[in-house]
Each structure stands twice: as C-alpha cells, then as structure tokens.
Amino acid sequence: MAKTFDVSFSGEPESAFQRAKHAADAAGATLRGDEKSGTFSGKGVEGRYDVSGQTVHVTITKKPVIVSDSAVESRLREFFGER
C-alpha cells in the first residue's frame, strides 16, 4: 500500500531539487525528474514526488517489508528538505 506525506522546504524549488539530488546520489539512490515532479528509487524503496509551492508531496510506492514506514519517511524527509 502506498504511503504519502508532505515535506516543506525553503528557497527556490530548483535549489531544493539540486540538494535532494545530491543527497540521493550520496546515499546510492536515484532521483529522476526536475523541480516539479519525478521519481526516486534506491535500496528497495521506490516512489514519486510532486512539488506545489514550498511543499513536496512524496508517495512511497514500494519498500522492503522489514523496513518501517517511519524509517523510510524520515530518510526521505532529509532528502527533500527537512534537515
């Protein structure tokens, strides 16, 4: 079952996207798309994101059963804006 949550960010969407891409690359994950929408995958986790204003709407579509939703959400929050 998919899990969706929102992450607020500051600054311009393009800068936020570049920070998220760098964080994903550093973690061995893949972030495809742009500052408006895209997909991500890595370590058995897959999902998509859409940006509206200063908010990223993140949907996790796949994750390993042994990894908790909260652990995945916490890590993705770091990628997409909350530090």
What CA–CA distance (Å, rounded) separates 19 from 15? 6
Burial 24-49 (b: 16+ CB within 10 A, else e): beeeebebebeeeebebbeeebbbbb
pLDDT in tens, 5-49: 999 998 899 998 999 999 999 999 999 999 999 999 999 999 999
Domain holding 69: CATH number?
3.30.310.80
User: Kindly report the CA angle at 65 between 62 and 71, in degrees rounded to 5?
Assistant: 80
Instruction: Determine the structural domain holding residue 35 and report its residue range.
Output: 3-80
- Report the number of distinct structural domains present in the chain: 1
DSSP state, residue 12:
-
Burial environment of residue 11 by CB neighbours within 10 A (0 to 12, 13 to 18, 19 or more): exposed
Total-model pTM:
0.90
